[in-house]
Chains A and B, each alone.
Chain A
Amino acid sequence: MERLLKFLFEYRAFFTFLFLELFSAWLVVENNQYQSTAYFNTSNQIAATIISTSQTIREYFSLKDINSDLAVENSRLRKKLSQQDQILLARELSLFGDSTIINRFDFTSAKVVNNSTRYYKNFITINRGKKDGIHAGMAAISQWGAVGKVKSVSEHYAVLISLLNIDEQVSSVIKRTGHFGTVQWDGTEPRFIDLKYIPRHVELKLGDTVVTSGYNSVFPEGIVIGTISSFKLNEEAQFHSIKVALSQDFGKLSFVEIVRSNLKIEKDSLEQKIIGDPK
């Protein structure tokens, strides 16, 4: 026993080293799991305050871009609203009888206070949190397209998993052909994302639009992800390898909309009975 203690004491530096390394390895693994309620990230109050201060300073240099983006979005929304009004008028409001279907999704707009595109696992911090009804698992979109999912939330801030994260997969569909696949980033180019699992019999065209499929119940259906910029089919490959040019330039993301799916719980609990736990 004494020799054991002596041995441990002699190599205390090494054992401390081992302990700290294992602990941080555990943290890495834990942090990679989706929807952990970790507070040791930028949704942490102090970290978020420091980062949003530095973001405020940086924002002055992109005010012009943000302004024109918002103006474009405003006009787009106004156009959509008037179209909607006309449709409703033409069909005498009889299209959707059920108000829960009409109000299926709620939107909360949020400012991006921290964003990265250069790592393998990129995250986005926004200035809305639990106080504003944000929960882990909600979708984030921008006017140009899909952005990511909420990973963890604090009182006033939330951290999103960006689409540019090698762990993030989103069920999606090619709009023209209607074939389902999964988009997942390969970790290199921040302007492009891979579309996987499109079977080889599908005839693709450059410029085909890829949108979210709504199978996952996180994203609303039909949110644009991007357009196909290149594809190739290797001999004996089961699926096409497709590069999609993202419609949202993640390098200049300034505002996002958090989507709350009001029917998510209903859909998930119904599916859970048959399929099992959702991922």
Chain B
Amino acid sequence: MIRGGILQIVLFFVYLILQVVLLKNLVLFNISFCFLYVAFILLLPVEMGNLLLMLIAFLLGISVDIFYNSLGLHTMALVLLAYLRNHWLATITPQGGYDIGTPPTLAANGLQWFLVYTLPLVFVHHLVLFFVEASGFTLFWYTMLKAISSLLFTMAVMLLLQYLSLDRRR
């Protein structure tokens, strides 16, 4: 348990540094962003409590914000994602339930389940992020375009990493 905790703390910084040093500069066609750091919250163990989850999301969000000069923005979106996560996990429990102690990954539950799990949550996160940043709905379709193309980018990178770690385990 303690080892798992230390691993998660290390992962926290890995995701953070990866996001603000590398992925921050990786933007496709000026509209497609990769916010891979959401994967950290999504892949925390299933049985983790809502409170702890939100506090971690708050810390991660505010750290990302510092580097993006957008104080509060990523925090807001990520805390919302963390809050919704456990409710969503409870709704889509696969037959036989989750294995205790395992993170909700593609390896554990399959591609279809993983997509059902991540896609709506990441989309909600991106919608909140872009509409709060635009501070309103004046640029509705452009913002929507940004959110959807970023969703595709983030999901593609996240799935890629899932498949990479899947192979290693075999």
Contacts and interface: CB of A to CB of B under 8 A. Distances in A.
Interface of A: 12-14, 16-17, 20-21, 23-32, 38, 40-42, 44, 47, 50-51, 54, 58, 116-121, 123, 125, 159, 166, 186-188, 190
Contacts of A125: 69
Interface in B46-92: 49-51, 54-55, 58, 61-62, 65-73, 75-76, 79-80, 83
A12 B67 contact: no
B30 A25 contact: no
A28 B71 contact: yes
Contacts of A40: 62, 65-66, 71
A117 B27 CA distance: 10
Given A17-B54, A21-B76, A42 B69 contact: yes
Contacts of B133: 119-121
Given A28-B132, A41-B69, A13 B79 contact: no
Residue of A118, A123, A125, A159 with highest tally of chain B CB at under 10 A: A118
B109 to A, nearest CB: 24
Interface string B21-45: 1001101001101000000000000
A31 B83 contact: no
A16 B51 contact: yes
Which secondary structure characterizes the binding site on chain B?
helix
B20 interface: yes
A31 B70 contact: yes
A73 to B, nearest CB: 26
Contacts of A119: 68, 70, 133
A58 B22 CA distance: 11
Contacts of B54: 13, 16-17, 20
Q: Which 10 A-B pairs have the closest CB atoms?
A: A27-B72, A28-B72, A13-B50, A123-B69, A24-B76, A24-B75, A31-B71, A24-B72, A17-B83, A41-B69
A129 to B, nearest CB: 15
Contacts of B21: 50-51, 54
Given A44-B66, A186-B139, 9 more contacts: A13-B49, A20-B75, A20-B79, A24-B58, A24-B73, A31-B71, A116-B69, A119-B70, A166-B134
Interface in B106-164: 132-135, 139, 142
Of the four ranges (under 10, 10 to 19, 20 to 34, 35 or more), the interface on chain B belongs to: 35 or more
A120 B75 contact: no
A140 to B, nearest CB: 15
A238 B27 CA distance: 38
Contacts of B75: 20, 24, 27
Contacts of B135: 32, 120, 166
Residue of B49, B51, B71, B134 with highest tally of chain A CB at under 10 A: B71
Nearest to A36: B71
A32 B80 CA distance: 21
A119 B72 CA distance: 15
B66 A25 contact: no
Given A28-B73, A54-B21, A187-B134, A13 B65 contact: no
A159 B27 CA distance: 22
A187 B145 CA distance: 13
Contacts of B83: 13-14, 17
B72 A31 contact: yes
Contacts of B132: 28
A188 B139 contact: yes
A26 B72 CA distance: 8
A194 to B, nearest CB: 13
